[in-house]
Chains A and B, each alone.
Chain A
């Protein structure tokens, strides 16, 4: 999970703290570009490809983590 947070922070280019319960869309760093980086990270690190409609349902960092690990 620490590794995931590190990768997630890197994709968002976020320096600040990331907690699993955070709603990541509220981060200042969140943007349509950050979104592309996150799904690239999901493919590269977890071999998970997620459709935009599915991703839109994910609200928290935990939810993204779950999507990565529960294939």
Chain B
């Protein structure tokens, strides 16, 4: 396990945006029966998700969130020296979406802007990169944007993923201030499990062709998808998670010199209730300290941790609070953060339709 610590940097404000369109899983029965949909909801706890329309990308969700953040906190755009955009559903294969957002947000050309391509654990990776840069002298304010439109990734005809994923975008303002004290992150990777969650075609290993967009039956359950749609080997992901995550959490908490009981909130990647409930039970965690958006937003990949903070902890982060953040997924990568929040201002959730805030 690789640990890294930062001093005197933290998130001072957060906002989030989700598509206006609500998908109710129990009524998501175009392909599968109501009985099957109900069984999946009972098991996963995912009642609803938000799906983007054709005009809405991850960047639009992040743009709406960032505009809200800037307006609510009277941020001078000229002072934003760093913009990092996290996503695996960017607007284009090139250029980097962060560059288009620098322009759309009216940030100066002196802004450092780049993308981080990583899955579910990426918010902690993003925080770590931004904290590292902000800890040095020079940069005034940083914007960390994290957006996903996983609704566009998975086949509606593959029951192993059709009911799980949703869309969202967040914005976090990161500044230097001694009041934050120390943050600790653990970040890990295991490429031997790269094939557990994957979109096999459409990159440069297996480029797009007429064949890669054809939906095919892929297993004994009759699930269908193309090679340009994502798949997930749920059983192996589950095994991976129960083997690695409780251990990573314990070790990181110990490294940071904390106790499990000392956290105000524990925010998990919102995979589904089956996995999250199992980890909480196995680690004997106090579920009152574990906010959840699984029921209303489903799994939004890397957005799920910060989206849960914005959605569930608004008004609860006054004064100094210690949060434990932990996430795992595609890569495989997994990460845990011991992150202090001090008077973090959280904006109201924004809804987006046709690429614009409504």
Contact = CB atoms under 8 A, between A and B. Distances in A.
A44 B282 CA distance: 8
Interface of A: 25, 31-33, 35-37, 39-40, 43-44, 49-52, 55
Contacts of B243: 49
B235 A31 contact: no
Size band of the interface chain B makes with A: 10 to 19
B318 interface: no
Nearest to B160: A32
Nearest to B158: A32
Nearest to B40: A33
Contacts of B242: 40, 43, 49
Nearest to B240: A49
A49 B241 CA distance: 11
Contacts of A39: 235, 238-239
A33 B42 CA distance: 10
Given A33-B39, A50-B239, A51-B239, A40 B278 contact: yes
A52 B221 contact: no
Given A43-B242, A49-B242, A36 B39 contact: no
A36 B43 contact: yes
A35 B159 CA distance: 13
Contacts of A37: 43
B179 interface: no
9 A-B pairs closest in CB distance: A52-B235, A49-B239, A52-B236, A33-B43, A39-B235, A52-B233, A43-B242, A32-B160, A35-B235
Interface string B286-308: 00000000000000000000000
Contacts of B278: 40, 44
B234 interface: yes
A40 to B, nearest CB: 6
B221 A36 contact: no
Nearest to B220: A25
B84 to A, nearest CB: 35
B255 interface: no
Nearest to A53: B236
Contacts of B40: 33
A55 B43 CA distance: 21
